Structure 1
Amino acid sequence: MIDTTVDVINKLGLHARASGKLIEVTTKFNSNIQIGKGEKLIDAKNIMALLMLGAGKGTTLRLVVDGPDEEQALSEVQALFAAKFYEAD
């Protein structure tokens, strides 16, 4: 199990389009992927739960990945956040 954090650095935060891109990444993996603030974690494969997080720019989110492909899942999720969800600034 991997328990780490990711920072929301894109201008609009974890809005609908960014959440959709995150879902595209997380649903490719067999691992259980959870994201949230502190102890409140949600399923990172659930679009409605992601939208309800209300994670704006500057938010630090806890990311917990557990499963057979956890390392690859973590790498791709971190890359997506680092690339600002491929949005123009």
Structure 2
Amino acid sequence: MVRFSVEITVSGGLHARPASVLVNLLNQYRSSVKMIYNDKQANGKSILSVMALGVKTGDEMTFEVEGVDEQEAATALRSLFERNFAI
């Protein structure tokens, strides 16, 4: 399992567009992805689950990636945040 935390820097937080980009990226991998924010958890491959977290700009959240391609998925996920969701 790969576990890491990120600060949300995308303007407006994880609203529909960045949540969609995130979910589409994660669905390219076989590993499961758990998002942890405050006392809530979400399936990173579900748009409704991600948006229900209500993550805002400046908030910190944790990801747990587990599966056969966890390293690749975690690297892609970190890169997405480093690029501030630029496609």
Settle same-fold status: TM greater than 0.5: yes
Aligned length: 87
Map residues 1-89 of structure 1 onto 2, 5 A cutoff.
1-38=1-38, 40-86=40-86
Instruction: Give the superposition deviation at 1:40.
Output: 2.7
- Matched-pair contact (CA < 8 Å) for 1:35–1:61: yes
Q: What root-mean-square deviation, in Å, do the aligned CA atoms of Structure 1 and Structure 2 show?
A: 1.3
TM-score (norm 1): 0.90
Instruction: Give the superposition deviation at 1:8.
Output: 0.5
In the TM superposition, structure 1's runs of 4+ consecutive aligned residues that sit over 6 Å from their partners are none
Given residue 16 of structure 1, which amino acid in structure 2 is its aligned partner?
Answer: A
Q: Any idea what SS the aligned residue of 1:85 has?
A: coil
Structure 2: gaps (5+ residues): none
Structure 2 Cα separation of the partners of residues 76 and 39 of structure 1: 25
Structure 2 Cα separation of the partners of residues 19 and 53 of structure 1: 10
Structure 1 Cα separation of the partners of residues 36 and 21 of structure 2: 17
Instruction: Give the superposition deviation at 1:43.
Output: 0.4
Alpha-carbon displacement from aligned partner over 1:18-68 (angstroms, at most 9, x marks no partner): 000001110000001111214532100000011111111111111000000
Structure 2 Cα separation of the partners of residues 39 and 53 of structure 1: 10
